[in-house]
Amino acid sequence: MADNLSDTLKKLKITAVDRTEDSLEGCLDCLLQALTQNNMETSEKIQGSGILQLFSSLLIPQSSCTAKVANIIAEVAKNEFMRIPCVDAGLISPLVQLLNSKDQEVLLQTGRALGNICYDSHSLQAQLINMGVIPTLVTLLGIHYQNAALTEMCLIAFGNLAELESSKEQFASTNIAEEMVKLFKKQIEHDKREMIFEVLAPLAENDAIKLQLVEAGLVECLLEIVQQKVDSDKEDDVAELKTASDLMVLLLLGDESMQKLFEGGKGNVFQRVLSWIPSNNHQLQLAGALAIANFARNDGNCIHMVDNGIVEKLMDLLDRHVEDGNVTVQHAALSALRNLAIPVVNKAKMLSAGVTEAVLKFLKSEMPPVQFKLLGTLRMLIDAQAEAAEQLGKNIKLVERLVEWCEAKDHAGVMGESNRLLSALIRHSKSKDVIKTIVQSGGIKHLVTMATSEHVIMQNEALVALALIAALELDTAEKDLESAKLVQILHKLLADERSAPEIKYNSMVLICAVMGSALALRLQLLGLRS
């Protein structure tokens, strides 16, 4: 075998130059056979023989041996150690040229060769993108969609290239969406559909492609899959239901694609998604809640949905997940409620519907993502709602939990939102009782610390809350303000040239509010009083 291989390689060197088709074909057949028997050893011998350099001259469209040469390259490039030698031998450029061939076998082997050479190499894949392979491959898919092997080759290539950000613009300039949806509609096998899904997911991260996929009718295909698989407990069907509903949610992340599917709240897609929320299937509940959160990204949609009873549906869903509930569903439903609470006109409606009570049931949750959304929802609801802010601010259990979460150093989001909600309770209620509750629960030190945040918005919120504390209930809070070193922090904020003008202004307001108290003496000592 070894002798035969050495002879074949020597003979191939001669015939490659002479271009004697019959002899050449015989040598290539021997190499393919040797690679089938022992790929690694044969590849090492091919590399050692220097024959790779001759292959670029054999990759010509009109030769009957081209498919076999490309096949040999595809086989040797399965070995990681052979990929750079293939690049150094100048094989990429002639292979890319061969993607314009009409011969299906040449196309298949060329695609395999390029895929194997560039496998796991972002720099080589980027090189292919720059050489324009994406439009060529999309065209090939459109022409040869009935050839299963070629279709699979295109899908594998798309899957690899779509991971690169630089590919998205090129994909968006082709009719990839149309071709993929056309292909998807023809597939009934789970494995084939899964392969298409693996390409669609990274492509759908691009907003332009999201819209193209929606216009090409992908959503209708996804809804059909959901309908077919929802009652099945087969592993493949459960996986496909998840993939289809996840992809549906991803398409709604694009502003244009989302509005197109919302259709003023009367669209078929929106109505179907609504029906997922009361479903008994956790995956559909999750996708439904996430979809609503995505639809709730502009005020008009939010107002329409609240007026048409979405809040009650989400509260019913949350109610089903209070005790040992599904954390992802809790998180998604709270996300939707938070977004719906942003428009001013929705706040009072949601408060009277009992959203705060529904949300507070999750106060005992130990899951940071749920805690984060719970805090954000409450903060949105009480914005400029004095009565609600006062009611929540006097809720000792809530305030104590907020103070606890203000120390959640492992979860910056939860810590930040807790501080912001503490401040919001004071700013929107302007209530002495709320301030007393926060003082009793040990919350003052956190508001003082918040005034040193790296985020100007949080600094401002803290300073305004502290000014209200000083104006309304200074006697109660004075001791805590002093031990939290409020005066020193104000001194630092005013002395720092980088402090924003509004920070300096609110610091001065706070200084004026503490005049006439024991804290004023500290101000005088630091030279701030003047």
Predicted confidence (pLDDT) per residue in 51-62, tens digit: 888 888 888 888
Residue 526 confidence (pLDDT): 53
Residues in CB range of 426: below 8 A, 6 or more apart? 393, 434, 435, 438, 447, 465, 468, 469
Q: Kindly tell me if the per-residue pLDDT of 529 is higher than 90.
A: no
pLDDT band at 30 (very low <50, low <70, confident <90, very high): confident
Mean pLDDT along residues 225-248 = 92
191-212: pLDDT as tens digits: 888 999 999 999 999 999 999 9
Q: Do 135 and 170 touch, CB atoms closer than 8 A? A: yes
Q: What is the pTM of this model?
A: 0.85
Helix (H, G, I), strand (E, B) or coil at 383: coil
Amino acid at 442: G
DSSP one-letter code for 79: S
Residue 1 confidence (pLDDT): 44
42 is a domain residue: no
The DSSP annotation for 299-318 comes to: HHHHHHHHHTTHHHHHHHHH
Q: Do 334 and 362 touch, CB atoms closer than 8 A? A: yes
| Calpha distance 407→295 (Å, rounded) | 34
Mean pLDDT along residues 317-324 = 90
Mean pLDDT along residues 245-269 = 92
Q: Do 73 and 55 touch, CB atoms closer than 8 A? A: yes
As a whole number of Å, the CA-based R_g of the chain is 33
69-91: pLDDT as tens digits: 999 999 999 999 999 999 999 99
462-502: pLDDT as tens digits: 999 999 998 898 888 888 988 888 888 888 888 888 889 89
Orientation of helix 255-262 relative to helix 282-295, angle to 10°:
110
510 is a domain residue: yes
Distance from chain centroid for Cα 164:
15
Q: Do 257 and 207 touch, CB atoms closer than 8 A? A: yes
Higher pLDDT, 56 or 10: 56
483 is a domain residue: yes
| Long-range Cβ pairs for the range 351-354 (8 Å, 24+) | 351/381, 351/385, 351/388, 353/311, 353/312, 353/315, 354/315
Distance from chain centroid for Cα 16:
51
| Calpha distance 284→290 (Å, rounded) | 10
pLDDT band at 530 (very low <50, low <70, confident <90, very high): very low
Q: Do 168 and 130 touch, CB atoms closer than 8 A? A: no
Domain range for 446: 407-529
Mean pLDDT of the chain: 90
Count of domains observed in the chain: 1
Residue 524 confidence (pLDDT): 52
Helix (H, G, I), strand (E, B) or coil at 463: helix
Percent of the chain whose predicted confidence (pLDDT) is above 70:
94
Q: How far is CA 370 from CA 245, 342, 516, in A?
A: 21, 18, 44
| Calpha distance 319→458 (Å, rounded) | 32
The DSSP annotation for 308-374 comes to: TTHHHHHHHHHHTTTTT--HHHHHHHHHHHHHHT-SHHHHHHHHHTTHHHHHHTTTT---HHHHHHH
| Calpha distance 80→78 (Å, rounded) | 6
47 is a domain residue: no
Nearest C-alpha neighbor of 197 from the set 208, 187, 211:
187
417 is a domain residue: yes
| Calpha distance 222→227 (Å, rounded) | 9
407-443: pLDDT as tens digits: 988 899 999 999 999 999 999 999 999 999 999 999 9
DSSP one-letter code for 283: H
Q: Kindly tell me if the per-residue pLDDT of 23 is higher than 60.
A: yes
413 is a domain residue: yes
DSSP one-letter code for 296: T
Q: Do 338 and 373 touch, CB atoms closer than 8 A? A: yes
127 is a domain residue: no
pLDDT band at 19 (very low <50, low <70, confident <90, very high): low
Residue 97 confidence (pLDDT): 95
Q: Do 76 and 82 touch, CB atoms closer than 8 A? A: yes
284 is a domain residue: no
- The two tokens of residue 175 are 């009719």
The DSSP annotation for 130-176 comes to: HTTHHHHHHHHHHHSTT-HHHHHHHHHHHHHHTTSHHHHHHHHTTTH
We report the CATH number of the domain holding residue 461 as: 1.25.10.10
